[in-house]
Amino acid sequence: MKVLVGGATGLVGGALVNYLTASRIEILRLSRSSSPAGEPTVRWDPAAGRLPAAELEGVDAVVHLAGETITGRWTEAKKSRIRSSRIDGTRLLSQTLAGLQRPPKVLICASAVGFYGDRGEETCTEQSAPGQGFLTDVVTEWEAATTAAKEAGIRVVHLRIGVVLSPSGGALAKMLLPFRLGLGGRIGSGRQYMSWVTLDDLVRMIDHLITHDEVCGVVNAVAPQAVTNAAFTRSLGRALRRPAVLPVPAFLIRLLFGEMGRSLLLSSTRVEPVVLGTSGYEFVHPTLDEALVELVRGN
Ligand SMILES: NC(=O)c1ccc[n+]([C@@H]2O[C@H](COP(=O)([O-])OP(=O)(O)OC[C@H]3O[C@@H](n4cnc5c(N)ncnc54)[C@H](OP(=O)(O)O)[C@@H]3O)[C@@H](O)[C@H]2O)c1
């Protein structure tokens, strides 16, 4: 089997390529730059609408994870890059795949639990209505950008990913130093829910979804137990054997990070992975305590 991976240079894409390669799956990368190690790569320029279609012929599955990082201050220019790198890039890829002589069977496209917005204690499933705000709007359009692929008969999966936990990048890696120094603590009230998934589980889920032909549409890529920020803080403190009692007030988050801080750190999203459960996916890390102990061990 040959799998095209967009965003293979990123946190999730890099881990996915390693995982699939170990299963002897052939990988073709989709990147804005060529691979320094000379790995097979299709170069594209999504901002300019350039993607060499002929180089995609013969691919069986596509996993698309590319997009401007959402961390950092959300200036108008940054928001525009967040939006266009996902929506325009996905539309270009989807239209190109639809026009191939032999289109791939499946397109698994990254999406995010940001779709559900700030929902307090409500549990959101794949059937839940959208929330409100910038992330909801981006995700809605991002998912709609795959229309051409769907119309061409390609099975499309929208992977609504939660906070990805890995010691080598993303949110957890940023938290490790302050928590190790005993400077960790809950954010704001700590009552906001956080839907998380370990990087190990995420790459296994993607592999599972590539082969499970019966699954299409929205799939929540989160562990079965979302936790509040206060519970996450306690769990990380325990895993590192450090006190985690210095709260970060909400006003400071708003001051330092503006809209990004409100949307990512203070809002509450409690998501359940219903479709993964019914499709028979078995989690490596279903609970946070065990996941964090394993992730921080030796790091
Ligand atoms: N990590 C998380 O906690 C999390 C949570 C929810 C959703 N997601 C979604 O999952 C996907 C993968 O996440 P990740 O953490 O692996 O992301 P990442 O490490 O930031 O990597 C994303 C990749 O996208 C490409 N990229 C970056 N800026 C781009 C731009 N302006 N235009 C086009 N391509 C660009 C880059 O590939 P090249 O330089 O090779 O082109 C990069 O390697 C993203 O779409 C993200 O929104 C992630």
Mean pLDDT across the chain? 97
Q: What is the DSSP string of 107-128?
A: EEEEEEGGGG---TT-EE-TTS
Q: Is the pLDDT of residue 17 over 90?
A: yes
Q: Say whether pLDDT at 298 is over 80.
A: no
With a 6 Å cutoff on the Cβ, whether 126 touches ligand 1 is no
Find the 82 Cα to ligand 1 centroid distance in Å.
Answer: 10
Q: Please tell me the number of Cα atoms within 13 Å of 90 on its side-chain side.
A: 31
Task: Give nearest CA residue, ligand 1 atom 2.
Answer: 164
238 HSE (CA, 13 A, CB side): 13
Residue 36 is predicted with a pLDDT of: 85
Using CA atoms, how far apart are residues 75 and 260, in angstroms rounded to an integer?
9
Side-chain-facing half-sphere of 221: CA atoms under 13 Å: 30
Tens of pLDDT, residue by residue over 152-164, are: 999 999 999 999 9
Structural domain total, the chain: 1
Q: What is the pLDDT of residues 62-95, one digit of tens each?
A: 999 999 999 999 999 999 999 999 999 999 999 9
Q: Is the CB of 223 under 6 A from ligand 1?
A: no
CA distance 61 to 83: 24
Residue with tokens 């949110």: 171
The mean pLDDT value for 192-221 works out to 98
The model carries a pTM of 0.98
- For residue 30, is pLDDT > 90? yes
Host domain of residue 185: 2-296
Atom of ligand 1 nearest to the CA of 66: 24
Give the contacts of 129 (CB within 8 A, at least 6 positions apart): none
Spacing, Cα 110 to ligand 1 middle (Å): 9
Q: Which atom of ligand 1 is nearest to the CA of 163?
A: 3
Residue 48 near residue 56 (C-beta atoms within 8 A) = no
238 CA from centroid of ligand 1 (Å): 30
Q: Is 14 in the pocket of ligand 1 (CB under 6 A)?
A: no
Distance 8 CA to ligand 1 centre (A): 9
Instruction: Answer yes or no: is pLDDT of 280 > 90.
Output: yes
Sign of CA dihedral 16, 21, 26, 32: positive
Q: How far apart are CA 83 and CA 101, in angstroms?
A: 30
Instruction: Using most ligand atoms within 8 A of CB, pick from 4, 5, 12, 159 the residue to mutate for ligand 1.
Output: 12
CATH of the domain at 21: 3.40.50.720
Share of the chain above pLDDT 90, in %: 97
Overall size of the chain counted in residues:
299
